[in-house]
Amino acid sequence: MFINLELEGQQYRFDVFFRASQKRIIIKPFGHHHFRVTAPKYTPKYVIKGMLEQDLSWRKTLPNVWSYDEYLMWSTHIDIQGEPHRVEWMESTTNEVRLHAGVITVMTKTKDPQKKAQLLKNYMIRLLSKEVSWLLEDYARKQSEINLDATRLQFKPYRTRFGSCHAKDRVLSFNLVLAHYPKAYLEYVFVHEIVHLKVPHHGAEFYQTLSRLLPGHEQLRHELNEHHAAYFKHPEETL
């Protein structure tokens, strides 16, 4: 269950979970306008909503970083492959995203922030899928020590990692944030994960292979971590 509140022109979302052993309502921040609420089992929705409206102390717990969904919901500018784009949001008879001349237009049937975020997320999945598929073809041509046949891809917003490799099932996973970062960072994560198709650990053989395929990977890793640490800072915290 979730609750949406509008206060002073700002939309807030609360994801609500019920626990049989809990004695009181607890509110914790998940993103800048996104919270998780845990409440005793069978607590009526109107009771939780009334508490949120009457006691606004939860607003003091706002974090200084966006969650990925909130970044898509509320940012007026987002980067695509390292390049800034202005976001336009307009009502339309269709639900789609269009990109043209530095502007990304989100067209929705209703001005629902969650719908806007979902459309942008789907767009980023398509964009990132295209880029990773191109990298698969490129590395399949220019190297032979790692078999890239029958490799499957998946994309989602991870909280703690840029990618992962399930070597047994040949599944490579990528964090959606890479759709917003320069392509060189995506290539670093891609090569790191395909090396795991050959070497499952991070021992000497792993880094020897990584260095052969992508010289300079240490610098790329450093730049990616620095870029990521600053990227989701809420604007109020970066003035």
Which pTM does this prediction carry? 0.75
How far is Cα 201 from Cα 188, in angstroms, rounded to an integer?
17
Residues of the chain with pLDDT under 70: 31-32, 61-65, 234-239
Position 6 scores a pLDDT of 87
Position 69 scores a pLDDT of 86
Domain boundaries, the chain: 2-61, 68-121, 127-231
Q: What is the homologous superfamily of the domain 127-231 according to CATH?
A: Metalloproteases ("zincins"), catalytic domain (3.30.2010.10)
Closest among 170, 161, 215, 208 to 189, alpha carbons compared: 161
Query: pLDDT digits over 27-44, tens only?
Result: 987 766 778 899 999 999
Position 21 scores a pLDDT of 87
Strands (E), 32-116: 34-40, 77-80, 83-91, 96-100, 103-108
Position 234 scores a pLDDT of 56
Position 28 scores a pLDDT of 83
